Amino acid sequence: MEPGAVEIGVGELVALINQTFDYAYPSVTVTGELANLRVSKGKWLYFALKDEFASVKFFGTVYMLPGPLEDGMLLKVVATPRLHNLYGFSMNVQSIQPAGEGSIRKAAELLQLQLTKEGLFDESRKRPLPYPPARIGLITSRQSAAYADFTKILNARWGGVAIDVIDVQVQGEPAPRQIVAAIEQFNAMAEPPEVLILIRGGGSAEDLAAFSTEQVTRAVAASRVPTLVAIGHEVDLSLAELAADRRASTPSNAAELLVPDRQHELQVLSDIRKQLGHLLRQSVTDRQAALARSTEYLQQAWQQLAADQKRELALKRQLLMAYDPAAALKRGYAILRDGTRPITSVKKLKAGQAVVIDLQDGQAQATINHLGPRK
C-alpha cells in the first residue's frame, strides 16, 4: 500500500462517494438529448441523456414524466447523482422538462394526441361559465403583468367581483406542481368559487411549457369548478386551454369574457328605457284612439237604441189607443154593466134586471124587459 493511501471496502467506497455527492452536488440540472427511453413494469423509468461528448444514465418513476416523450428530444432534467452498490452510477430524477422550442412543441404534440384519444378535449365536456360570476378563483403570479391587466380590466368593466388569488410560479420547474396544487386547493373548498381563472402573459415556448404538461392539463380537465384559461398571446395555444371549459386569447380577453362592460350595459339600459318610453307613449295614444272610437260607437249605439225604443213606444201607444174602450164609445158603441162588471153575453142577463149603460158622453140606467138572439 502506498504511503497515505486509505484501504476501505467496496460498500464503504460507495457510501463515501454518495456522501460526497450529497455534499457537493445535492441536485444537478442536466440538459441533453433523450436516448434509450424505457418504462419497466409500468412504474420505473430508465433513460439516458447524451451530447457529443458523453452519455449519462437516469432513473426515476413514470409519475415524473411531463407527458409522452421520444428519443432525440432535448430535455432538462433535475436529478441527484447516485452510485448504486450493484448497478453502478446513475442520476435519480427529480423532475423532467422538455428543453428547446422544437422539443417542447414535439412533447406537446405527443401529449395532445394522447389526450385527444382519451376525449379530454371533447366539446361535450365543456361547461358554461357563470355570467357574470360573483366570486372567482384566480391562479397566477401576483407580480406578473397578466395579473395587473386582468384585475384592472375586470374592475373597470364590471366591479364587485370577489377575487380569491393563489400566487404561483408560472414558469420553470416548480410551476406545474404549484399550479396543480392551486387547482386542487380551490376544488377542495367547502364553498369553492364559481369559476377558476388560470392566466399568464406571453413568453417563449419554454416559458409557457408548464401549461402544456400532462399534470396541469389533466388537473384543469378534472376540476369540478368550471375553468377559463388564458396563456400567452392570441397565437399561443397551450393544452391547458384546450382542456378548459373556455379559452381566452389573452389575460385581458379573459376579463372581457368573464363580465359585461358596465358602460355598454348602462347604454343598453338607457336605450331600453327610451324604447319602453316610446312604447308607453304609443300605447297611451293607441288606447286614447281606441277609447274615442269606443265612445263614438257607444253614442251611436245609444242613439240607435233610443230611436228603436221611441218607435216601439209609439207602436204600443197606437195599440193601446186601438184597445181603449173610449175609442169604441166614440164610434157609437156602448158598454153594458152590472154594477162594475161589464156584461158580454145575454146569458148573464135576466128580465127585469137593472143595468148601467156607458155611452160616449155619459151613462144611462135601464131595465131589461126582453131577452132574445141578435137579429
pLDDT by residue (tens digit) across 305-314? 888 889 888 8
Residues 147 and 225 both lie in one domain: yes
Residues 140 and 233 both lie in one domain: yes
pLDDT band at 362 (very low <50, low <70, confident <90, very high): confident
Residues 91 and 153 both lie in one domain: no
pLDDT digit string (tens) for 276-303?
988 998 998 899 889 988 888 999 989 8
Return the bridge partners of 29, or none.
Answer: 78
pLDDT at residue 37 in the model: 93
User: Is 91 part of a structural domain of the chain?
Assistant: yes
Q: Residue 138 pLDDT more than 80?
A: yes
In angstroms, the CA 189 to CA 208 distance is: 28
CATH of the domain at 69: 2.40.50.140
Residues 218 and 136 both lie in one domain: yes
* Cβ-based neighbours of 141, under 8 Å, separated by 6 or more: 147, 167, 168, 169, 170, 200
Mean pLDDT of 260-280: 86
Return the bridge partners of 31, or none.
Answer: 76
* Cβ-based neighbours of 258, under 8 Å, separated by 6 or more: 129, 131, 132, 133, 136, 154, 161, 195, 197, 228
Among 143, 142, 217, 205, smallest CA distance to 176 is for: 217
Q: Residue 339 pLDDT more than 80?
A: no
Residues 71 and 143 both lie in one domain: no
- Number of domains composing the chain: 3
pLDDT at residue 173 in the model: 83
Choose one of 263, 296, 317: the last residue of a domain.
Answer: 263
Choose one of 263, 281, 308: the last residue of a domain.
Answer: 263
Residues 30 and 153 both lie in one domain: no
Residues 143 and 231 both lie in one domain: yes
Residues 78 and 161 both lie in one domain: no
pLDDT band at 1 (very low <50, low <70, confident <90, very high): low
pLDDT at residue 243 in the model: 96
pLDDT at residue 256 in the model: 94
Q: What percent of the chain has pLDDT over 90?
A: 46
Matching residue, cell 420505473: 44
User: Is 55 part of a structural domain of the chain?
Assistant: yes
User: Is 299 part of a structural domain of the chain?
Assistant: no
For residue 182, give its domain range: 123-263
For residue 298, report the phi and psi dihedrals to the nearest 5 degrees.
-65, -40
pLDDT at residue 335 in the model: 77
Q: What pTM does this model have?
A: 0.65
Residues 147 and 213 both lie in one domain: yes
Q: Is the pLDDT higher at 134 or at 361?
A: 134
Q: Residue 274 pLDDT more than 60?
A: yes
Q: What is the mean pLDDT of the chain?
A: 88
Residues 87 and 21 both lie in one domain: yes
Q: Residue 141 pLDDT more than 70?
A: yes
User: Is 158 part of a structural domain of the chain?
Assistant: yes
In angstroms, the CA 71 to CA 38 distance is: 10
User: Is 112 part of a structural domain of the chain?
Assistant: no
pLDDT at residue 7 in the model: 80
* Cβ-based neighbours of 176, under 8 Å, separated by 6 or more: 66, 210, 213, 215, 216
Choose one of 97, 131, 163: the last residue of a domain.
Answer: 97
SS3 221: helix
* Cβ-based neighbours of 45, under 8 Å, separated by 6 or more: 37, 38, 39, 58, 59, 60, 61, 62, 64, 65, 93
Residues 82 and 172 both lie in one domain: no
CATH of the domain at 240: 3.40.50.261
Please state at what angle helix 145-157 crosses helix 251-258, rounded to 10 degrees: 20
pLDDT at residue 117 in the model: 93
pLDDT at residue 3 in the model: 65
Q: Residue 170 pLDDT more than 90?
A: yes
Mean pLDDT of 211-236: 92
Q: Residue 236 pLDDT more than 90?
A: no
| Positions of E strands within 41-153 | 44-50, 55-61, 74-84, 88-98, 135-140
- Name which of 46-55, 151-160, 318-327 the model is least confident about: 318-327
User: Is 26 part of a structural domain of the chain?
Assistant: yes
Mean pLDDT of 117-123: 93
User: Is 269 part of a structural domain of the chain?
Assistant: no
CB 363 within 8 A of CB 356: yes
Residues 41 and 93 both lie in one domain: yes
Mean pLDDT of 40-49: 92
Among 163, 102, 106, smallest CA distance to 133 is for: 163
Mean pLDDT of 341-347: 77
Helix (H) or strand (E) holding 231: strand 227-231
User: Is 186 part of a structural domain of the chain?
Assistant: yes
Strands 195-200 and 227-231: parallel
pLDDT band at 192 (very low <50, low <70, confident <90, very high): very high
